[in-house]
Amino acid sequence: MPRYKLVIEYDGAPFCGWQRQADDPTVQAAIETAVTRFSGEAARLTCAGRTDAGVHAIHQVAHLDLAKAWRTDTVRDALNAHLRPQPVSILSAEVVGPDFDARHSAIRRHYRYRILNRRSPAALTRAHVWHVPWPLDADLMQAAAQRLLGRHDFSAFRAAECQAKSPVRTLEQLDVTRQRMGLFEEIVIATSARSFLHHQVRAMAGTLMLAGCKRLSADDVAEILATRAKHRCGPLAPACGLTFVGVDYGQTR
């Protein structure tokens, strides 16, 4: 039974997250339905990182097992044909060994959070950015972000419904940069870790926003982390600004 690794891109706006639900549209359900229509099999997908409602992906990875060996370009193109007109695209498909697991073989996951920082709201990207109309200092946000790097208890940045057994995570990257192009003013938060807690990236983005408008200092952010004081954390940044941008794997293919 061959195993296929899929690289997937999707707009999360019309979906209630990745994970299949009984009555609501999800990315997993859309792809699994396409698999059944294409192959006649009821395959189950496992992904690298389950995204919440409204969260996007440009390089999500999933695997599935099929009874029949298909050409990889046939798998990609047939799935895309059956996914239309939904905003989900299979970028590639490849055969991998049975020891490859999209979730458990991952050694690092990457996310990007986008803040549109100008007075006027977005016309074309409103479903992909958090519009913050007041001025933000990206340098202050970057200074605060560096206080979160490393291995810590991230209870202050964890959703109440998070099912992770431990709140301890190792944050490998958290960088804040400002991008300018004409009247386009965007602040981008890039972060990487082996794994994240539920809502961790959005909670960090909301807290860094407060640092950017000088309501929190870098020391305040470090104290929130150290005291695990969730009530002092910034607002939960909206899902629309978050994108899953990639996942790294070791030598196991």
What is the sign of the dihedral through the CA atoms of 27, 33, 38 and 43?
A: positive
Same domain? 70 vs 191: no
Same domain? 91 vs 125: no
Same domain? 170 vs 230: yes
The answer to whether residue 252 scores a pLDDT higher than 70 is: no
Domain-located, residue 179: yes
Q: Model confidence at 253, in pLDDT bands (50, 70, 90)?
A: very low
**How do residues 101-152 score in pLDDT, each as one tens digit?**
999 999 999 999 999 999 999 999 999 999 999 999 999 999 999 999 999 9
Average pLDDT over residues 33-42: 94
| Rounded distance between C-alpha atoms, residue 217 and residue 214, angstroms | 6
Domain-located, residue 96: yes
- Out of 104, 122, 153, a domain closes at 104
Same domain? 226 vs 122: yes
Same domain? 117 vs 211: yes
User: What's 214's domain CATH number?
Assistant: 3.30.70.660
4 is an annotated ligand-binding site residue: no
| Rounded distance between C-alpha atoms, residue 16 and residue 51, angstroms | 9
At 227 the pLDDT is: 95
Same domain? 82 vs 137: no
User: What's 49's domain CATH number?
Assistant: 3.30.70.580
**How do residues 73-94 score in pLDDT, each as one tens digit?**
999 999 999 999 999 999 999 9
Question: Is the peptide bond preceding residue 85 cis, with omega within 30 degrees of 0?
Answer: yes
**How do residues 4-22 score in pLDDT, each as one tens digit?**
999 999 999 999 999 999 8
- Out of 104, 136, 165, a domain closes at 104
At 180 the pLDDT is: 85
Same domain? 134 vs 240: yes
| Rounded distance between C-alpha atoms, residue 146 and residue 143, angstroms | 5
* Type and span of the H or E element at 39: helix 27-39
Number of domains in the chain: 2
Q: Model confidence at 251, in pLDDT bands (50, 70, 90)?
A: low
Same domain? 113 vs 235: yes
Give catalytic residues, as residue numbers.
52
Average pLDDT over residues 57-67: 97
The answer to whether residue 217 scores a pLDDT higher than 80 is: yes
**How do residues 151-200 score in pLDDT, each as one tens digit?**
999 999 999 888 889 999 999 999 999 998 766 789 999 999 999 999 99
Give the domain range for residue 165.
Answer: 107-248
Domain-located, residue 83: yes
The answer to whether residue 68 scores a pLDDT higher than 70 is: yes
pTM, 2 dp: 0.95
- Tell me the HSE value of 66 on the side-chain side, using a 13 A CA sphere: 22
| Rounded distance between C-alpha atoms, residue 191 and residue 200, angstroms | 11
Domain-located, residue 253: no
Average pLDDT over residues 56-69: 96
- Residues sharing a CB contact under 8 Å with residue 206, sequence separation 6 or more, in sequence order: 233, 234, 235, 236, 237
CA distances (Å), 1 to each of 14, 48, 68, 94, 97, in order? 33, 21, 7, 14, 10
Residues 103 and 48 sit within 8 Å (Cβ to Cβ):
yes
- Out of 104, 127, 149, a domain closes at 104
Domain-located, residue 43: yes
| Rounded distance between C-alpha atoms, residue 237 and residue 148, angstroms | 17
Same domain? 39 vs 133: no
Same domain? 88 vs 134: no
* Type and span of the H or E element at 138: helix 138-145
Same domain? 99 vs 114: no
Q: Helix, strand or coil for residue 51?
A: coil
Same domain? 215 vs 144: yes
